[in-house]
Each structure stands twice: as C-alpha cells, then as structure tokens.
Chains A and B, each alone.
Chain A
Amino acid sequence: MTVIEAPQQRSAWLSAQPVALIRENARTRSITLQVPGWPGHRPGQHLDLRLTAEDGYQAARSYSIASVARGDLITITVERVENGEVSPYLVDELQVGDRLDVRGPIGGHFVWTAEQGGPVLLVAGGSGVVPLMSMVRHRFEIGSDIPITLLYSLRAPQDLIYGAELAQRHAAADGLQVLLTYTREVPAQWRGYRRRIDRAMLAEAMGPAGPEGHAFVCGSAPFVEAVAEPLIQLGYPVERVKTERFGPSGERT
C-alpha cells in the first residue's frame, strides 16, 4: 500500500462556529463551520467534532468533510441517526452562532487529489456520498480535467443529497459523469438504473477506460462489500480500491 504523506502533527481542539446551515433532505443537513486555525485538509479526510453540555459532559464523533479546503471554512454533512446522541442535535438543533469544537483533519488513506491522477470511479451508498463530494468539488476547484464517474445508489428520491449541484456539474459535460440508481422508489419519468449496484452496472460506470486509475467506495459495510468484490473481479488491483465503511452505530455522517 502507498503512503501518501508524512504523519500529521498533533492536532488540538479548535473552536468552531456554524456560519451556514443547509437542509439537504429530511434527515440530513450540511453545516459550514468557521474554524480559525484550521490547517487545511485533503478530499476524503474527516474530522472529530465534540459537543460539551452545560455540566461538562462531552460527546465526540467523526464526520467526513464535504468541502474543499478554503481558508478557515469547512463544510460537513450530517445524517440523523435515530436515537443517536450527537447527530440529532447537529441536524435539528444547532443554529448559526452556536459553538462547538473540532480537531483534524484525520485519515490519510481514503484521499484523492488530482496529483494522484485518474480516471476516478467514485461509488456512493446513501450518505456515503459525503467524502466523495469533497473529491468532486476538489476537481472543479482546481480546474482539473481528470475524468470522474460518480455512481450513487439511493433508496428513494427523498434520500438524495447534493442533487442540484451534481446535476449542474454533470450537465456541464466536462468530464464529470454522475450516475444515479434508485433501489426502492424512483422519481417520476425515471429512465436510469433502478436496482442495487452490481457487476454489470460497475462495468458500465467504468466505461471504455476499464479498471484504470482509482476507485473509492463509501457506504454501509454491506454496501461496500457488495461493491468492492465485483470491482476486484472486474480487474481493479486491490491497492487501488479504497473503502470507507459506515458502521450501523458509527455515526460517521
């Protein structure tokens, strides 16, 4: 396996303040945080977020970063885990001007920057799209022409996040292709995929380039298993398939 970068130095907890809140869907919202002293991050990395109650009790969780590094502003996208301790507060209660703490960035494996080259196949299950969105945004931010295909599996139309942005970037037809598949319920007049991701769908998403470049798979553990295995069968070398799994109680967005 390839080591991408030297170890990061100790990261301290930094004070963070929400400056923008965007409702992505009924269960999910994006939170833009202003974090003075944020050291920057690479697409795919995550952060630890900590809440402190009046009585001093603290709870911390990891969340994927959805944005590119842009000064001291970072955006996370959080999905509410029912009966969760942290995510319901972030999705339903947090307001602009509140305070919390973050540290990071964390993780140096599930990372893609344009220097690594392409093409790139991104495969998302549900909220697994979040760290992959950071990679998509990075490509646009630096004006890269590396081809990226995002294959994004959703149960139903109301689960979609980043819908407008993805549609817009796809329509620009400059090398980002977005393929959606709906597994339970499809939008009206839907002509696209309507099944779980399988080997045939992955082969189509790879296109004529075949198993070249890098593949990133993010979603629930069963989703990642169901995608990574056929990618290997289709010829991707194991070291070029990077995965991030959200445990059922992991609250990783």
Chain B
Amino acid sequence: MTNVSRGFRGRQQATREDTRVPPGQYVTTEFPVLSAGPTPRTPLSQWDFTVEAEGEREPLVRWSWDEFRALPSEAITRDIHCVTRWSKLDTRWRGVSLDTLLDAAGVELPFLVAHCDGGYTTNLPWEDVTGGRAWIVYDYEGQPLAPEHGGPARLLVPHLYFWKSAKWVRGLRLASQDDPGFWEVLGYHNHGDPFKEQRYDGD
C-alpha cells in the first residue's frame, strides 16, 4: 500500500540514480551520533580487548591498548549506512582486521557477539566479519576516534547497518548459537543488510 503525497517532489535527484546508496537512505556529509546511553570513558591504561569462546573459562587472547596498537593495521575507506537513514560515503578509518584477531584466537565458531563498555552488544555471523569485511578501528579521518563516535575503538562492519559497528567495543565472544544483541532483541533486524533494507524484525 503506497499513498502518493500531494505536492511532494523530493530533492535528492542524485541519490535516486546512485547505486552506491542503499534504498531508503540519503547521503549526508555530517556524522550524526546515535547511542542508547551515556558515552563511556575507559582510560587507555584500563582498556583491553579480548576474544572469548563458549566453554572456555579464560579469554583465548587478550591485548592491552599498547599491544593492540602494535598489531598490523590497515587503512580502510568505505561507505557507511545508518538505519536512521543517513549514509556517508568514503569514510576513512584505520584499524585491525578481525581476520588478524580471530586468527590469533585460533577458534572458529559460526556466530559471535561483540560486547562493549556501557553494556551494548551486537551479534554477527562469522562469515560477515571474516575475509576482509570487519575491523576494530581506532582512527577516523586521520585522527584518534572521538569518544562520542565510539573511541577509543569501535567495530567497523560497513556492509551492514551501522548499529552492528558497535562503539566502545572491548571484545568478541564466539559461540555455536546465534544470540541476538541489544537492538536485535528490541525489534531491529537480526542481520541488517542495508541493500536488502533489513531494518526491522521481519523485513
């Protein structure tokens, strides 16, 4: 059911033809901030990053901030797409590929949950975060990532809606079963592919 809205024309002619921009999105040059709670501020001296697996009492690997920054990093330029309908093109980041982190952990399981300072979680299938598709990033446009954008480090999974790119990320937990995260439990889509417009549960 679609209603034509009398007198509405729309203005983003360029967006209509640009196949880079997923359906229902508009391009912005701003970087809006959307978070469910206050911005956590963990001192770098207390920051660490772990990869855990179900059935393991201890983390498989753990890096301090300095150790994490010493891992091989790469420059990443990607478009990002927020479920609140803004897209931002050619954003530039630096960080560590999840391939590197998961190789170091040495365990492969079909699902994982990213967990964060502030209690936020998001779930991802293994295949969406491996093969050069996901990173833990700490620089944005050549500067250290600002706290309101997820600094000191956030997940970057640019091919999925941006709520999957969890801010203030502190670790990954590998599991054999899928365990929906914070927004996924609250009615947002479990997978979140912007080109399929997987915004909400059932899309």
Contact = CB atoms under 8 A, between A and B. Distances in A.
Contact of A247 (B5, B11, B32, B185): B32
Contacts of B86: 247, 249-250
Contacts of A98: 5-7
Interface residues of A, number: 56
B8 A51 contact: yes
Interface residues of B, number: 45
A52 interface: yes
Contacts of A54: 4, 9
B125 interface: no
B201 A101 contact: no
A93 B33 CA distance: 29
Given A1-B119, A3-B186, A243 B37 contact: yes
Contacts of B203: 10
Contacts of A16: 3
A7 B35 CA distance: 19
A85 B37 contact: no
Contacts of B31: 247
Given A238-B119, A242-B37, A9 B202 contact: yes
Given A52-B4, A228-B39, A241-B38, A221 B201 contact: no
A243 B39 CA distance: 10
B38 A238 contact: yes
B200 interface: yes
B10 A252 contact: no
8 contacts: A8-B200, A10-B203, A15-B1, A52-B3, A94-B5, A98-B6, A99-B3, A250-B86
Interface of A: 1, 3-4, 7-16, 51-54, 57-62, 85, 89, 93-95, 98-101, 103, 106-110, 221, 225, 228-229, 231-232, 238-239, 241-243, 245-250, 252
* 9 residue pairs, one from A and one from B, having the closest CB atoms: A247-B32, A10-B202, A99-B3, A228-B38, A221-B33, A108-B186, A8-B187, A249-B28, A51-B5
